Amino acid sequence: MTVAFEEKAVLEFKGRMLMMTVLLLKDLDPNTLHRQVSQRLDDAAQWLRDAPVVVDLAHPEDVDQVALMAAVDTLRGLGVNLVALARNEHLDSDTAAMLGLGSISLAGGRDVPRSAEPAPAAQTDQPAEAGHTLVIDQPVRSGQQIYSRGDLIVLAPVSTGAELLAEGHIHVYNTLRGRALAGVRGDQNARIFCQKLDAELVSIAGHYRVAEDLPDQHRKQAVHITLDGDAMRFADLK
């Protein structure tokens, strides 16, 4: 006779959207690299210190593995949080493993501008949400994508198929039919406000709800969305 034991699940797979920074190396000379990267780190970019970084090479076809190792060491020495190497026909996962990195395909992803402007010196130690607020007063159409280093305020409709990304809060003073992703750099205090919620997807710091999962009583209503631990909270904006 066999007894079936019910084993408690010790794992759970979760979908999570993450923002990765891609560092495109055009040259592998360790001295130049050291100088320029430390310069960038000094300039502001707190985000560059914490953010998971994927290394991509501008000329993967004629890369020297020794030079690549040196470059990776240099970056690690500066405290850059390297997590993976961009995979392509010249760089396979074995090369990445040799460097102690994961390998990731960048095909299919989308670029959002990252190094728009260095933050002013006074704000060097401020968290990332201290960026500028971006105000959009034209409709955001299907296929368009808006990225704000700080808060994002939209005064016109956001269409299905449009995407709003902000490191801070997102305000839409009109109908939100597209996607809104607040706190894309991990700010769990980011919030989403909109006058009429009809979104395809809303996300705060990587936690998201698709249209199907939006609470019915808040559909087409003015709403205020926050993140409470792992749960997204919806409240009337009245």
Q: In DSSP terms, which residues pair with 210 in a beta bridge? A: 201
Does 141 engage in binding with other proteins (CB under 8 A)? yes
Does 156 engage in binding with other proteins (CB under 8 A)? yes
CA 200 to CA 114: how far, in whole Å? 25
Binding mask 49-88 for other proteins (x = CB under 8 A): ----------------------------------------
The span of 65-73, 100-108, 117-125, 138-146 binding other proteins (CB under 8 A) equals 138-146
Question: Closest approach of Cβ 132 to other proteins, in Å?
Answer: 21
CA 43 to CA 119: how far, in whole Å? 7
What type of residue sits at position 196?
K
Question: Would you say 55 or 162 has its CB closer to other proteins?
Answer: 162
Could you give the 3-state DSSP secondary structure of residue 84?
strand
Does 155 engage in binding with other proteins (CB under 8 A)? no
Question: Closest approach of Cβ 236 to other proteins, in Å?
Answer: 22
Binding footprint of other proteins, residue count (CB under 8 A): 15
HEC readout, 154-176: ECCCECCCCEEEECCCEEEEEEE
Does 206 engage in binding with other proteins (CB under 8 A)? no
CA 193 to CA 159: how far, in whole Å? 16
CB 195 within 8 A of CB 211: no
**Interface residues for other proteins in 167-186 (CB under 8 A)?**
175, 177
The span of 25-33, 49-57, 142-150, 225-233 binding other proteins (CB under 8 A) equals 142-150
Question: Closest approach of Cβ 144 to other proteins, in Å?
Answer: 5
Residue 177, phi-psi category: left (phi > 0), alpha (psi -120 to 50), beta (remainder): alpha
The phi and psi torsions of 163 (rounded to 5 degrees) equal: -135, 125
Which residues would be at the binding site for other proteins (CB under 8 A)? 138-144, 156-157, 159-162, 175, 177
